[in-house]
A = this chain, B = another copy of it.
Amino acid sequence: MLTERQLEVLLSVVHEFIESGEQVGSRTLSKRYLKGRSAATIRNEMADLEEMGYLKQPHTSAGRIPTTMAYRLFVDTVLQRRPQGGDARGGWMSRLKEHRDGLRGALARASELLSQLSNYVGMAAVTQLKQARLNKIDFIRVDTSHFLLLVILDGGVVHHRMVSMPCDLSQDSLEDLSRKINTFAGYQWSDVREILQSYILQGLGEYADSCRQALDDLDNMLAGEQTTLLTGSLARLFDVPDFQDIGRFRALFSILEQEGELARLLSGYGQKDGIGVIIGEENKVPELEDCSVVLSSSISDGTRTTLGVIGPKRMNYEKVISVLDRVLCDIDGIR
C-alpha cells in the first residue's frame, strides 16, 4: 500500500504533469508541492513509486511521468471528492432551451458546448433502449410510388425513411393504416414491430416484400442500441499540445469519423448511470490508447442520454467532470 506521503507525491506528479505536459522532476515537486521536503527525499519516494508501477521515466535520468495506474488513482480521488448534489449547476440551460428544434438540436448544441467548455472533443448521444415506446407512426404519400414512413418515439426522437412502393396507395388508405397502428401508441417498439410483422404477412399480399424491407431498415435504426450521435468541433484538437503529433491526431480522428466505432464505445461503457472515466489503454480500442474518455449518462423513458468528452490522457479531469455534470443536468431539464 501507499503511505500518506507517497500518495501525496503521486497525486502531485499527476497534477503537475497534467498542467505542464512535461516530465516532472523532484526539484519542481519540492518547490511547488511539498515545500517541507527536499528534492532528495522526494527522489527516493519517486524511485519507490516507479518500482510499484505508478511512475515511469521516458528515458534514464529524466523526470517522471504518470502511468495509467497513476491516472486511475488520481481520477478516482477526484471522483470521490466531487461535490455531490446540485448546487451551482446549470447556467447554460437557458441557452440550450431557447432553441426549440427538438432533441437532436439540443444534442448538437450540447456537444458543441462541451467542446467549448472543455477544449476537447465533446459528444452527445441518445440511445434508444429496447424498451423505447412508440409515440406515433405516420405514412405520408409523396407520389405514386413513394411514401414517407415517419416514426416518433417517446422522448422526442424522430426517424423518417422514404419507402418506394410498387403500387399506388391512396393517402386515405395510408391514413387508415396509420390510424390502426397508432392505437398501439405507448407500446414498446419491439411489440409494435411484432404486430406490424403479422399485418404484413396477412394483409398486403404482393407488396409484403417492400414493406418488410422497410420495416427491417427501420428496425435497424431503432432496435438494439442504435444511437444518434453528434460530436462537437474537432478543430479544438489542434490546440491541444498532445495532438500536435500527426500520428496521434490521426489515430483519434479515424475513430471519431466512424460513428459506428464511437457508438460501440458508448454502449460498451455507458451501461451504468453517472460518470465513468476510461483512461488510455483501459480502452478496448487500440487507437484510443493515448486518450481518455469521460462519459456521463442518465436514463429515463427507455432512452439513455450520454454525454462524453474525449481528450488526451493528461486532460483536466476535474474541469471536464464538472462540466459534464452540469451539461447533463441541463439536457435532462429539457426533456
A5 on the interface (CB 8 Å rule)? no
* A140 contact set on B, CB distance < 8 A: 136, 138, 150, 152
A67 on the interface (CB 8 Å rule)? no
A143 on the interface (CB 8 Å rule)? yes
> What is the distance, in angstroms, from A167's C-beta to the closest C-beta of chain B?
15
Quick check: B102 and A162 within 8 Å, CB to CB? yes
Q: How far is the CA of A222 from the CA of B2 in the complex (A)?
A: 63
A190 on the interface (CB 8 Å rule)? no
Q: How far is the CA of A160 from the CA of B235 in the complex (A)?
A: 29
Q: Please tell me which one of the listed residues B135, B146, B235, B257 contacts residue A233 in the complex, with CB atoms under 8 A apart.
A: B257
Q: Please tell me which one of the listed residues B135, B160, B244, B253 contacts residue A158 in the complex, with CB atoms under 8 A apart.
A: B160
Quick check: A246 and B253 within 8 Å, CB to CB? no
Q: How far is the CA of A316 from the CA of B306 in the complex (A)?
A: 43
Would you list which residues of chain A between 132 and 163 have a CB under 8 Å from chain B?
Answer: 135-136, 138, 140-143, 146, 148, 150, 152, 156, 158, 160-163
A195 on the interface (CB 8 Å rule)? no
A238 on the interface (CB 8 Å rule)? yes
* A253 contact set on B, CB distance < 8 A: 234-235, 238
The 3 closest A-B pairs by CB, nearest first: A102-B162, A238-B250, A235-B254
> Can you show 30 pairs from A to B with CB atoms below 8 A apart?
A100-B164, A102-B161, A103-B162, A135-B143, A136-B140, A136-B141, A136-B142, A138-B138, A138-B140, A140-B150, A142-B156, A146-B156, A148-B150, A148-B158, A150-B150, A156-B162, A158-B162, A160-B160, A233-B257, A234-B253, A234-B257, A235-B253, A235-B254, A235-B257, A238-B246, A238-B250, A238-B253, A244-B246, A246-B246, A246-B249
Besides A100-B162, A146-B156, A160-B160, 16 other CB < 8 A contacts?
Answer: A101-B161, A102-B161, A102-B162, A135-B143, A136-B142, A138-B138, A140-B152, A142-B152, A142-B156, A148-B150, A148-B158, A158-B160, A235-B250, A235-B253, A235-B257, A238-B253
